[in-house]
Structure 1
Amino acid sequence: MDLDAYVLERAGEWDRMEQLARRRRLSAAEADELVVLYQRATTHLSVIRSRTPDPVVVADLSRQLLAGRAAINRGGRFSLRPVLHFLTDRFPAELYRTRWWWLTMSALLTGLTAALIWYVAANPDVAGMFLSDADIARLVEEDFVGYYSEYQAQNFAGQVWTNNALLTAQCIAAGVLVVPVFYLLGVNIFNVGMTGGVMVTAGAGDTFLTYISPHGLLELTCLFIGAGVGLRIGWSWIAPGPLRTRRQSLVDRVRSGMLIAVGLVPTLLVAGLLEAYVTPSPLPPLVRISIGAFVWAAFLAYALLLGRSAEARRRADDEAGYDLPSA
């Protein structure tokens, strides 16, 4: 084979492929042309290597093919549209669909925590079973308040965000086995209840509420959502319903749980920022609690009001026959 003639005859196609590969945007016709030229150039390279493998020609054509391949495989530009769709439709719709699970868990666990605080406060000897007198004095006088300002705010925010996101994810993931969710919740409720009871006994109940409310309203709600969604996953294989197998029901609930877990990550970031910057701030207690209550109310409105609208749109699309991803 005359290599020079072969290269001369096809060099125009290779150059054209390289020119298209360098462009930032291609029309549909140009994209199709690039694919065809790339496929033909790979054949040309194979022929050259098998018959007259000139290293210079092989290297130059390989470079052009790499550029063409990179252009073909190049993804589209980053778009915020999927992120906005998730935040305005998918996530709130899933929160609304699962609302009875996490609202029920919120009511039950809040009542249980309040009962534990009352019991510990009414029976001071109970705290003595777990804490020494020195530990109780240090908790009331230093540790409880000092915990929120022990580290720099940005580091503390990252720490509590990571810990809370991990705990919430564990509740969702462990829900398939049901029992571990109650253990995770039990440890958290015990800690809050014991601390609250000790603070109330010492006459520092107002301090406890001042430092737990700004971030705790949103933070604990996220935890209760994780617990409710996790138990919903576990219930899916216990009682899948008459129209679905256990596998179908479990897959559907797990997919929903994954969406909620992703959405709770930025929500818990907000809770972490509140805990790091608002809870220990010098603002008056009423202002700090009001900020936390406002953010918490905004999240509930997002989940229940915007979620209801998003779920209604999803149902309307399903009835219209659109093939939407299963939530």
Structure 2
Amino acid sequence: MTVASTLTEKAFTERRKPEWEALDALTNEAQRRGIKKLEPDAVLRMSPLYRSVCADLAAAQAARYSAPLVDYLLGLTAAAHTVVYGPHARGREDGRKGRIRQAWLVAFPRAVRRFKREMLLAAALFFVPFALGCVLTLRDPSFAFRVVPEAMLRPLTEAYAKGFDAGREAGDGAFMAGFYVYNNVGIALRCFALGIFGGLGSAFYLVQNGLSIGAILGYVASQGAGENIVVFIVGHGSLELGAIVLAGGSGLSIGWSLVAPGELPRLVSLQRRAREILVVVAGAAVMLFMAAAIEAFWSGSSAPREVKVAVGGTLFVLVLAYVLFAGRTQDGDLEASGDDSPEEPS
């Protein structure tokens, strides 16, 4: 970015910042107390402020201002849109149920797409080592012992070699569900929380877990139980591995807000990014709980392999379609409603 454009951006920010802060304050208060508890004057101010900030977003995108500024305006307009045009503005759609529906159908998938660069980087940091660990272990099974303790690999191999024709008892399934939740949430939490170190902690845990899981898969396959472990994983893998990637991508985003805060103080940049990314972290947590239930009660069941593969493939397609398309409108992720949303810059 040239010096001239930087100065233009600074002038633009200084001129428009009071309205951004006003909308931000009203949005936060409405989210905390509910829009019906706001003063009438405050409610009347929100719609014009929202339209004005949408116009600022369009101008910032057209002028190719810095990513932190555009991201901030995107987050502000998305949050304000939920308040102004969300469930509570249409009779609340049964209150809490409407807000939950709004979060799942709109806010979560939009937030994932909004931070797509971080999510794609997290996917690469996880799945490239995953593939590498699997291939290297298939070529040389002893490679797995450098990544995963041998004391863990051998019992796993024996368990998968037995197969799942006998299924599991209901009590065993409930116990394993609790274990999977504990284990997977712990992994995802580390992938997210350690992003505070400039994103390096998240990157490390993504690479480590990708390499470890790939090595486990490769080792079990090298011992003749590859089909069993693949059939076991396919049922819940899209939710479990997807959630770990989303948690890691959220951690990378947190780290980047500290490394490149733009015009904002680092603490302010961190606070805003944490608020914006929270919906992704919450969604990833729900995905992990769903994956744990499937892993405990379905993946290890005696259902036919063909059925498990079909169910797993269908779930993968549904998860991918949900993340890519849920909450979209004809005008993209910033839902258009007359003049309420900015036009896409050409």
Deviation (angstroms), 1:78: 5.9
Q: Report what 1:117 is aligned to.
A: 134
In the alignment, which of 272, 285, 289 is matched to residue 252 of structure 1?
272
Letter in 1 for 2:108: F
Task: Provide the rounded CA distance (Å) in 1 between the counterparts of 2:191 and 2:338.
Answer: 31
Deviation (angstroms), 1:137: 4.9
Structure 1 or 2, whichever has the larger Rg, is 1
Are the counterparts in 1 of residues 334 and 341 from structure 2 also a CA contact under 8 Å? Answer: no
| Corresponding residue pairs, total | 245
Task: Provide the rounded CA distance (Å) in 1 between the counterparts of 2:322 and 2:144.
Answer: 39
The correspondence of residues 1-327 of structure 1 with structure 2, limited to 5 A, is 79-127=96-144, 137-142=154-159, 149=168, 152-177=172-197, 178-241=199-262, 243-309=263-329, 312=332, 314=334, 316=336, 320=340
Are the counterparts in 2 of residues 165 and 264 from structure 1 also a CA contact under 8 Å? Answer: no
Deviation (angstroms), 1:153: 1.5
Between stretches 110-119 and 290-299, larger displacement belongs to 290-299
Closer/same/farther in 2, CA of residues 127 and 168 from structure 1, 3 Å limit: closer
Task: Provide the rounded CA distance (Å) in 1 between the counterparts of 2:302 and 2:266.
Answer: 53
Deviation (angstroms), 1:182: 3.1
Between stretches 146-155 and 296-305, larger displacement belongs to 146-155
Q: Report what 1:17 is aligned to.
A: none
Letter in 2 for 1:194: A
Identity value in percent:
27
Unpaired segments of 5 or more residues in structure 1?
Answer: 1-76, 323-327
- 1:56-87 deviations in whole A, cap 9, x for unaligned? xxxxxxxxxxxxxxxxxxxxx96312211211
Closer/same/farther in 2, CA of residues 286 and 87 from structure 1, 3 Å limit: same
TM-score (norm 1): 0.64
Closer/same/farther in 2, CA of residues 299 and 319 from structure 1, 3 Å limit: farther
Are the counterparts in 2 of residues 97 and 311 from structure 1 also a CA contact under 8 Å? Answer: no
Task: Provide the rounded CA distance (Å) in 2 between the counterparts of 1:239 and 1:136.
Answer: 41
- 1:80-129 deviations in whole A, cap 9, x for unaligned? 12211211222222112112321332244212111111111211333455
Task: Provide the rounded CA distance (Å) in 2 between the counterparts of 1:162 and 1:310.
Answer: 40
Task: Provide the rounded CA distance (Å) in 1 between the counterparts of 2:123 and 2:288.
Answer: 16
TM-score (norm 2): 0.61
Between stretches 176-185 and 217-226, larger displacement belongs to 176-185
Between stretches 158-167 and 292-301, larger displacement belongs to 158-167
Closer/same/farther in 2, CA of residues 137 and 96 from structure 1, 3 Å limit: closer
Are the counterparts in 1 of residues 133 and 214 from structure 2 also a CA contact under 8 Å? Answer: yes
Task: Provide the rounded CA distance (Å) in 2 between the counterparts of 1:135 and 1:306.
Answer: 40
Are the counterparts in 2 of residues 211 and 280 from structure 1 also a CA contact under 8 Å? Answer: yes
Letter in 1 for 2:241: L
Are the counterparts in 1 of residues 144 and 215 from structure 2 also a CA contact under 8 Å? Answer: yes
| Root mean square deviation, CA, Å | 3.3
Are the counterparts in 2 of residues 145 and 211 from structure 1 also a CA contact under 8 Å? Answer: no
Task: Provide the rounded CA distance (Å) in 2 between the counterparts of 1:288 and 1:113.
Answer: 22
Are the counterparts in 1 of residues 122 and 203 from structure 2 also a CA contact under 8 Å? Answer: no
Closer/same/farther in 2, CA of residues 185 and 145 from structure 1, 3 Å limit: farther
Are the counterparts in 2 of residues 120 and 198 from structure 1 also a CA contact under 8 Å? Answer: yes
Are the counterparts in 2 of residues 175 and 230 from structure 1 also a CA contact under 8 Å? Answer: yes
Are the counterparts in 2 of residues 93 and 311 from structure 1 also a CA contact under 8 Å? Answer: no
Task: Provide the rounded CA distance (Å) in 2 between the counterparts of 1:269 and 1:310.
Answer: 32
